[in-house]
Amino acid sequence: MVTCHCEEQNVSRTEIAERLHEIQGKKCFICGRPIDLNSGDWQIDHIVPRAAGGKDEPQNFALTHEICNKKKLDSDLRVARCMFKYEEMKEKYGKRGFNHPNLGDFLEEFGGAKYPLKISKINDEIEYEFWHISTIKSDKSNLYKDALSGLNYSFISLPIEYIYHDDRINPRAIGSRVKGLIEEFLHGRPQLHVSLAWTKIEHGKAEVKVFDGQHKIAAQLLLGVREFPLRVFLVNNEKDLDLLLVTNTRAGTVLRQVAFDMSVQRFLGSQIYWEKIDQYRQLKGLEENDLSFSEKDLITFFKGEHRELKKYIIDDVRTYVIHSPENKLKDYIEFGGRAAEKPLSYSTIEKTFFTFFINKEPLETPLSYKLEVGENPRQLEKEQLIKLMNMFAEEILIGKYDVDIGSAKIEEKLRKGENIPDNHLRAIRLTREEVLYNILRYVRDCIKRYFLLAMGKSVEDKELFQYKFPEQLWGHIRKVIQNIANMPLWINRDTGLSSAIFGGKQSYDYWKTLFDTGKTPQGVAVLPKGLSLDELLT
Ligand SMILES: [Zn+2]
């Protein structure tokens, strides 16, 4: 809020507002939507806050909605404006993939990624044309050779219309740490590293795809920049591209030069897995879509890389399951490390659902085995895992967990007497890693027993999800989840219990003992008695 000295100069607050209203095109400085001065819903504020050296002069004033000013995400209105836009994009594009917009979404939002370059390679140079504008502009750049890899590259500066995002090599989303970069650029500090891209000339045209440095580009897009410097690798074939994919993946995993979230590492592993399948086909002279070989065959063939490959196979299952559009649980998973709004972290999913139910051993059946009749073991594993996760989402989270309350410090808030709704409290307690892990033990036992008693089949734990579950079994699983979720323990507000059991993170064994006996390892009775599968099924 501005409390300025203008009124002494006989300029009223309303007059300033009217002037700003005109200058800003009748729109709010933060959200960009129209402001109605008669509504009274407006405020005048300093663009650069006084505390940061902003002057108390009309040039430093802006008109905003009252609500936008109240909710602003930074005291510097220019940053607040960028972050408003970012939040808006999170809402618009964040529903899929990694729950945040990626560079492709940013480019789309700002009118980029529209045209391939018209390009030709002449000796040690590339010549390219910006052809979508009325006066065609052409330019050329030196082509260099990377000394050890032999890859060709060039340095060019491109308007965003000619920049695409490669979400395959770099699927990472734009996280809220983009704010730090916005502040840097806003203070006139230059971009230090050049973003990386690759392109392949086909019929005189080339789409330039960025695979590194997307946060820098996103931050500057938000600040109105529309042209970016790039180091562009000129790729000749699949092998070159594969090299970039592997290099970038290693930079973020083995070498840890870039901080890749675990789910991003898995995604890249899955990409490399499919690259390996392609290589295998080529070297064996197989058709493009051939799936007549097994995971075991691949491992035997790529002997030198068998350990990595084994991991990539599992990465592919994890990635499929977690990014499936059918997966209802993923809306409740925080992919970028610490969870605050969302109850689950990606790492919890790996330690629970994936640890229990993904078979880590490579299969000997062909990848195409019974795929058409819906009985391929890997495919069943993926689809049934999604179905199980959906059941948890339906019984515990959807319409029950309140994002606005969030998951941070819930037990503390509860002990201070804050009003936490039952459904929300239950959802938070049931999705604790150690609790979830132990619930899944009962789910696993329920499945095993069904196979044994109803189908006369003894199945190893790791293979359970690779057999098709009859509808009746799904009914049993749901019953188990419902019965556990309905236990009064999850909504018990006793402060002693809250701090003893839910205070800090407990071990898996702590909860195993509690579920098995009804008592904590210290002997404190929490449940009337231990849980039994028989009772959980009624
Ligand atoms: Zn506004």
- Give the pLDDT of the chain (538 residues) as one tens digit per residue: 555 544 445 578 889 999 999 999 999 999 999 999 999 899 999 999 988 888 999 899 999 999 999 988 888 999 999 999 999 998 888 766 566 889 999 999 999 999 999 999 998 999 999 888 777 788 999 999 999 999 999 999 999 999 999 988 888 888 877 888 999 999 899 988 899 999 999 999 999 999 999 999 999 999 999 999 999 999 999 889 989 998 888 887 777 666 678 888 898 899 889 989 989 999 999 998 899 999 999 999 999 889 999 999 999 999 999 988 899 999 899 887 555 788 999 999 999 999 999 999 999 999 999 999 999 999 999 999 999 999 999 999 999 999 888 888 899 999 999 999 999 999 999 999 999 999 999 999 999 999 999 989 899 999 999 999 999 999 999 999 999 999 999 999 998 888 889 988 889 999 999 999 999 999 999 999 999 999 999 8
Contact yes or no for 55/36 (Cβ under 8 A): no
CA 36 to ligand 1 centroid distance, Å: 11
User: Using the 8-state DSSP alphabet, how is residue 439 labeled?
Assistant: H
User: Do β-strands 208-212 and 195-199 pair in parallel, antiparallel, or remain unpaired?
Assistant: antiparallel
Cα–Cα distance measured from residue 503 to residue 496, given in angstroms and rounded to the nearest whole number = 9
- How far away, in angstroms, is 377 Cα from ligand 1 center? 53
Residues 394, 502, single domain; the answer is yes
- Rg of the chain (C-alpha set): 28
Quick one: 215 and 351 in the same domain?
no
In a domain, 34, yes or no: yes
Residues 115 and 208 in one domain: yes
Residues 67 and 80 in one domain: no
Domain match, 35 and 135 both: no
Q: Which of 203, 235, 267 is the last residue of a domain?
A: 235
Distance 534 CA to ligand 1 centre (A): 58
Phi first, then psi: give them for residue 38, nearest 5 degrees.
-75, -20
End-of-domain residue from the set 185, 216, 235: 235
DSSP 335-404: -SSS-SSSSEEHHHHIIIIIHHHS--SPP-SBTTTTTTTT--HHHHHHHHHHHHHHHHIIIIITTTS-TT
- CATH label of the domain that carries residue 34: 3.40.1800.10
Residues 417 and 483 in one domain: yes
Give, rounded to a whole angstrom, the gap between the first and last alpha carbons of the chain.
62
Positive or negative CA dihedral for 390, 391, 393, 399?
positive
CA–CA gap between residue 480 and residue 535 (Å, rounded): 9
Ligand 1 centroid to 68 CA: how many Å?
5
Query: What's the CA-to-centroid distance between 418 and ligand 1, angstroms?
Result: 31
| 398 and 438 assigned to the same domain | yes
Domain boundary among 205, 235, 265: 235
* Phi/psi of residue 121, nearest 5 degrees: -110, 120
Rounded distance from Cα 70 to ligand 1 centre (Å): 10
d(CA 177, ligand 1 centre) in Å = 23
**How far is the centre of ligand 1, averaged over its atoms, from the C-alpha of 46 (Å)?**
15
CB 96 within 8 A of CB 330: no
Dist. CA 236 → ligand 1 center (Å): 49
SS3 87: helix
Cβ pair 463, 384 in contact under 8 A? no
Angle of the 377-392 helix axis to the 471-485 helix axis, nearest 10:
30
Q: Is residue 1 included in any domain, yes or no?
A: no
Q: Residue 296 domain-assigned? A: no
Separation of CA 63 and ligand 1 centre (Å) = 9
Containing H/E element for 88?
helix 77-93
Q: Among candidates 374, 441, 415, which has minimal Cα distance to 501?
A: 415
Distance CA 518, CA 530 (A): 4
Q: To which H or E segment does residue 515 belong?
A: helix 508-517
Residue 346 inside a domain? The answer is yes
Q: Are residues 402 and 525 in the same domain?
A: yes
Query: For residue 252, is it within any domain?
Result: no
Is 277 inside any structural domain?
no
pLDDT at position 256: 67
Residue 485 and residue 382 share a domain: yes
From the list 102, 74, 104, 107, the residue with the least C-alpha distance to 90 is 102
Ramachandran angles phi, psi of 163, nearest 5°: -110, 125
How far apart are alpha carbons 401 and 412 in whole angstroms? 18
Q: How many domains does the chain have?
A: 3
Q: Is residue 29 part of a domain?
A: yes
3-class DSSP string for 164-219? EECCCCCCCECCCCHHHHHHHHHCCCCCCCCEEEEECCECCEECEEEEECHHHHHH
Q: Which helix (H) or strand (E) holds 479?
A: helix 471-485
Q: Looking at the structure, do residues 102 and 68 belong to the same domain, yes or no?
A: no
Tell me the CA–centroid distance for residue 182 and ligand 1, in Å. 20
CA distance 277 to 290: 9
The CA 30 to ligand 1 mean position distance, Å, reads: 5
- Shared-domain flag, residues 339 and 404: yes
What is the pTM assigned to this prediction?
0.69
Q: How far is the CA of 161 from the centre of ligand 1 (A)?
A: 29
Could you tell me the distance, in angstroms and rounded to a whole number, from the CA of residue 226 to the centre of ligand 1?
Answer: 24
Q: Are residues 519 and 477 in the same domain?
A: yes
CA of 64 to the centre of ligand 1 (A): 5
Distance from Cα 89 to the centre of ligand 1, integer Å: 16
Rounded distance from Cα 187 to ligand 1 centre (Å) = 24
Domain that holds residue 362: 332-536
- So what's the pLDDT on residue 249? 84
Q: Give the model's pLDDT for residue 258.
A: 65
At which residue do the structure tokens 């599992």 appear? Answer: 314
On whether residue 124 sits in a domain, the answer given is yes
